[in-house]
Amino acid sequence: MTHLSALVVGFLLDCLFGDPYWLPHPIRWIGSFISHCECWLRKWLPSTPKWELFGGVLLVLLVSLGSTGICVVVLWLCSLVSPILSFLVECIISYQMLAGKCLSVESGKVFAALQKGNLAKARHAVSMIVGRDTEQLDETGVTKAAVETVAENTSDGVIAPMLFLALGGAPLGVFYKACNTMDSMVGYHNETYEFFGRAAAKWDDVLNFIPARISGSLMCFAAPLCGCSLSGAFRIFFRDRLNHKSPNSAHTEAACAGALGVQLAGNSYYFGKLVEKPTIGDPLRPVEPEDIMRANRLMFATSLLTLLVLVLVEVVL
């Protein structure tokens, strides 16, 4: 029950404060650790596909076990001082593993710029939260990009961390976020990371396999809580949830597209190259800037529903 209590407190803190830029954040430390490990491994290992694959496996082990181990030691040292201190620190770590408010704030900047008719500012704002090229996007393209990233990150930025935190407390939450951050930094199919980043990408796929499906299902159930379509969410979820190269990325996108009654995804440019992707959802109506805020409301409704389910499961067990 202590882990779940810490998660509830952390969830409330995230809803209230998000991620203040002045506050030291473990994910930034983990990102720095990943960069240093990558430099060290590339320095000492030969630049061949075989050795880069091996180096990628070592990176996964060093980062995931190292980050988790540090969290365990910190909590243990705090428990020697006081169980209350240990609980408070776990609450803070749990809070910092969740990205709901931050995602809402950053996507809200895109919406605000579009509302003012400032497409250039909207392109810049959306470039901060997506990986695709944004320089040539029109208003619809910018809006779709923002909605898609809110939908996708509902899973790996909010729901999946909540599940890991509830299951194993702050250490397991840190373990998940370390692996997820590693994938976002090195898990690319390009010349630099085709082999070195493969282990991180595959491991992230494994960790997110069940959470992505839970997130998509719960998002469908959460749809009517914020005035969206329950039947549409489930219809598109079951039809389009595998319309992505990643086995996990399209589940919440499909649920969101169906709930809103819009079409997402499709072809995009990445690093100057056109990447052909299937669409998700049906174009029952045009995508509009307000859909960014609708997607955020859907994200928070899904998060609250997840928290309620976790509490109920804990009580029953």
Amino acid at 292: I
Upper half-sphere CA count for residue 203 (Cβ side, 13 Å): 26
Q: What is the pLDDT of residue 288?
A: 95
What is d(CA 294, CA 109) in angstroms, rounded to the nearest whole number? 14
Closest CA to 178 of 166, 195, 160, 194: 160
What is d(CA 307, CA 14) in angstroms, rounded to the nearest whole number? 13
Amino acid at 225: L
- Cβ atoms of 30 and 67 within 8 Å: the answer is yes
Q: What is the pLDDT of residue 134?
A: 80
Instruction: Answer yes or no: pTM beyond 0.95.
Output: no
Residue-number span of the structural domain to which 168 is assigned? 2-316
Return the ∠ at Cα 71 (arms to 65 and 72), rounded to 5°.
Answer: 85
Mean pLDDT of the chain: 93
What is d(CA 128, CA 168) in angstroms, rounded to the nearest whole number? 31
Could you give the C-alpha distances from 16 to 20, 100, 130, 148, 311, in angstroms and in order? 11, 10, 24, 24, 20
- Cβ atoms of 256 and 215 within 8 Å: the answer is no
Q: What is the pLDDT of residue 267?
A: 78
Other CB atoms within 10 Å distance of the CB of residue 13: 17
Q: What is the pLDDT of residue 19?
A: 84
> Tokens at residue 46, please?
């030969």
Q: How many structural domains is the chain composed of?
A: 1
Q: What is the pLDDT of residue 1?
A: 63
Q: What is the pLDDT of residue 10?
A: 96
Q: What is the pLDDT of residue 317?
A: 80
Closest CA to 6 of 90, 114, 131, 130: 90
Q: What is the pLDDT of residue 220?
A: 97
Backbone dihedral angles phi then psi of residue 286, each to the nearest 5 degrees: -65, 150
Closest CA to 27 of 177, 230, 170, 169: 177
Residue ranges in the chain modelled with pLDDT below 70: 1, 271
